[in-house]
Amino acid sequence: MTLSQRTILMIVSTFIALLFILAVTSDVILLKSFAALERTVVADNIQKVRNEIDESYDELGALTDELAATVSTGGYTHLTKLPAIFLRSRKLDIVICLSHDMQVIALQQSDSDSLNRQVNPAHVISALDGIVPLARKSPGEPLSGMIVIDDVPIQLAISQLPANDCLLIAGRYLDVDEINRITALTEFALDLVPVSTKQNAPDITAALAAVSRGVENPVLVVNQDEVAGYSFFKDIFGRPCLFAKITEERLLYNQGKASIVYVLTALFVAGGVFCCAMLFFMRETILKRLAAVTQKVARITTQGDISVRLPVSGRQDELSALAVSINGMLDSLENAEKDVRESEERYRMLFDRAPDAIIVIGLEGDEAGRVISANQAAADLHGYTLDEICRLRIHDLNTAETNKSAADMMAAIAAGEWMTAEIWHLKKDGTQFPIEIHAGLIISGGKKYILGFDRDITQRKITEETNNMHLEQIRRLNDKLSRKAIELATANNDLETFNYSVSHDMRGPLTRISGYCQLLLDDDSTLDSNTKEYVTRIYESETWLNEMIDALLHLAQLTRIEIFSRRVNLSAIAEEVLKELILENPERSVRMHIEPNIVVSGDDRLLKMVMINLLGNAWKYSSRKKDTQIEFGAEQTETGQVYYPIKSS
């Protein structure tokens, strides 16, 4: 079912449901309201009828008083002589005067009987049995009520005559004339229905039940077109005697039903028009555009061309926003597809052009152990073409020795372990060669594969063998050098011992030679110029030889000192050395220039010995100059920082 069909079905179903709910609501609420209003109106109408009947008792009471006055003036015999016109004019049907022992003193009955019969006075007197005690309960108060005799309701007004100790009773039949009179006054069709002690009509039975429940004026539906109202009357003794019943057409209820039908019809028509308008509006503004978008998207899906774009209307609504979103999604998909395609090309290029062999091996189903994919380097390494190597199984490429451990290696990789190992493979011609593999588990399309990187390590193995051979040679040379170093250390110790011996043995003669030369040079009278020059040269040679002996001793000391590197201020050392030289030779005039804060890293003891030697040489070789300047500084050269002591004149 299409969206349009579902939309139409939803709108129509909603409309029908709303109509059904409205109809049920109208029947349950509105019709009940009309029915309640109808009952109220009918109850009010029957109450009006009852009020009219009750007002007749006041008129009868007044007539009873009038008759009592007649009895007081004319006696009981005057009642029997009342003319018929008197009774007819006052609408009296029977007048009785009873003693307290229920004896008839006087009786007068109208000759006009609309019921076409006379009620037997004896029946009236019999029905009034017990009226005397009732009248005595309320002396001085008028007594009125109703009795039914031979199914004829009679309204009675009873007045006590204390002077004569009797009861004066005036009665009026509720006959057709009286009913017509009440109907003419109230405009309601009245019907008086006596209540039987044996069997009543169904509506009277229902009315009695309603009265017993406390309903004052029950209203019952007679049929679809009529409704009846009932007013319950008791006789003068308080016994049920009759119902006053009015029957009316159900104009209000039927009018309410007609109004509801009219409203429902109007709502049905208006709803139908609204549904049609809504369907037209939705079709033109939503469904057609949505169908166009759906067809376009379906065509894009079918053809797989994501470069197509949906048309965007100028309307600023959700469908336009949807089209813009779909176009944006298509742009993203197109860019993503382009990126994926470029990425696949890059990875395919890397895969194909990788210098190491790359092999993908299946792990599941029919692909288990089979070479799924390989690059050109793998094919060249094993001497196959790409098509040939992709038809092989990994066991075909392994040597027999490698296949013994291949199952365990593949199980470890399948468990998620990345493995590096050195194994042996076979070329197409059967040649065995060593390779280093780095293999691990990959998952593609829900299936497990082994991705292996293979590298030929034949040259590395040869190099390792060569290196092992060279290392053995180096080990032999190191042993030989160790022996030479031990011999050299022994020779150095011997040399050091020799130096100490020679220096000790030579210092005595050299000291004597120096002393004699100094004496000869100090005595100017005994030497000629040539001899003095010779003696001077001997003295200088002795001095040089003495310095050589000191240098040899210093060299021997340097070879035994352990070096400790720290920050050393060479400027401070230079000042200290020059101050000591000036103290030793105060007669010399020497200018000094020392660059401040020249700090280097090294052993302070050895650096001090170096500074003593350097500055001592500068001091010594400038001793024959009258004006000497000794400088110490540092300068940056191409090879690095250079520190210098110099002398200048």
Whether 55 and 159 map to the same domain: the answer is yes
Q: Tell me the mean pLDDT in the region 336-358.
A: 79
Top pLDDT among 42 and 548 is at 42
- Flag whether pLDDT at 1 surpasses 60: no
Say yes or no: 612 and 485 in one domain: no
Average pLDDT score over the chain = 81
How high is the pLDDT of residue 162? 67
For residue 364, which phi and psi values (nearest 5 degrees)? -125, 145
Last residue of a domain, one of 413, 432, 456: 456
Residue 116 has pLDDT above 50, yes or no: no
Contact 356, 377 (CB under 8 A): yes
Residue 76 has pLDDT above 80, yes or no: no
- Report helix, strand or coil for 234: strand
CATH number for the domain harbouring residue 640:
3.30.565.10
601 with 612, same domain: the answer is yes
Dump pLDDT digits (tens) for 481-539: 888 888 877 877 777 777 677 666 777 777 778 787 877 777 766 677 778 788 787 87
Integer Cα distance of 203 and 216 in angstroms: 16
If DSSP codes are grouped into helix, strand and coil, which group holds residue 385?
A: coil
Domain-ending residue, one of 560, 577, 597: 560
Asked, for residue 303, whether it belongs to a domain, the answer is no
On the question of pLDDT at 406 being above 80, the answer is yes
Task: Among 254, 289, 316, give the residue marking a domain's end.
Answer: 254
479, part of any domain: yes
Residue 630 domain flag? yes
Shared domain for 587 and 630, answered yes or no, is yes
4 has a pLDDT exceeding 70: no
- 533 and 617 in a single domain? The answer is no
Strand 628-637 relative to strand 590-594: parallel, antiparallel, unpaired?
Answer: parallel
pTM exceeds 0.85, yes or no:
no
pLDDT of residue 648: 54
Average pLDDT (626-644) is: 84
Q: What is the pLDDT of residue 508?
A: 74
Question: pLDDT tens-digit profile of 591-618?
Answer: 888 899 899 988 887 788 788 888 888 8
**Domain count within the chain:** 4
When pLDDT is averaged across residues 453-471 and rounded to a whole number, the result is 85
pLDDT of residue 542: 75
pLDDT tens digits, 197-242: 778 888 888 988 998 898 888 998 888 888 999 999 988 888 888 8
Using alpha carbons, select from 96, 164, 105, 106 the residue that is nearest to residue 127.
96
Q: List the CATH number of the domain containing 396.
A: 3.30.450.20
How confident is the model over 616-622, as a mean pLDDT?
Answer: 83
226 and 132 in a single domain? The answer is: yes
Q: Is residue 464 located within the same domain as residue 452?
A: no
Considering the domain architecture, whether residues 448 and 553 belong to the same structural domain is answered as: no
pLDDT at 218: 92
Query: What CATH number has the domain bearing residue 484?
Result: 1.10.287
- At residue 560, does pLDDT exceed 70? no
Whether the pLDDT of residue 65 is over 50: the answer is yes
CB 605 within 8 A of CB 554: no
At 551, is the pLDDT very low, low, confident or very high (cuts 50, 70, 90)? low
For the beta carbon of residue 128, count every other beta carbon within 10 angstroms: 23
Burial of 433 (0-12, 13-18, 19+ CB in 10 A): middle
Name the nearest CA neighbour of 556 among 492, 487, 491. 492
Q: Is the pLDDT of residue 113 over 60?
A: no
Identify whether 198 is part of a domain: yes
Domain that holds residue 475: 459-560
For strands 240-249 and 590-594, give the pairing.
unpaired
Mean pLDDT to the nearest integer, 64-74: 80
- Residues 508, 623 within the same domain: no
List, for residues 285-317, the tens digit of each pLDDT value: 777 777 777 777 777 777 777 777 777 766 666
In a domain, 528, yes or no: yes
Q: Extract the tokens encoding 619.
A: 């001091």
CA 345/CA 337 separation, integer angstroms: 12
Residue 274 lies in a domain: no
Q: How many CB atoms within 10 Å of residue 550?
A: 12
Instruction: Give the pLDDT of residue 26.
Output: 66
In a domain, 480, yes or no: yes
**41 lies in the same domain as 185:** yes
- For position 115, what pLDDT does the model report? 46
Question: Is 15 in the same domain as 163?
Answer: yes
Identify the helix (H) or strand (E) that includes residue 437: strand 432-444
502 and 409 share a domain?
Answer: no
Instruction: Give the Cα separation of 446 and 381 in Å (integer).
Output: 30
Each residue's pLDDT tens digit, 120-142: 778 888 888 878 777 777 666 77
Query: What pLDDT was estimated at residue 107?
Result: 85
Query: What is the C-alpha to C-alpha distance for residues 438 and 325, in angstroms, rounded to an integer?
Result: 46
Residue 77 lies in a domain: yes
CA distance 282 to 8: 10
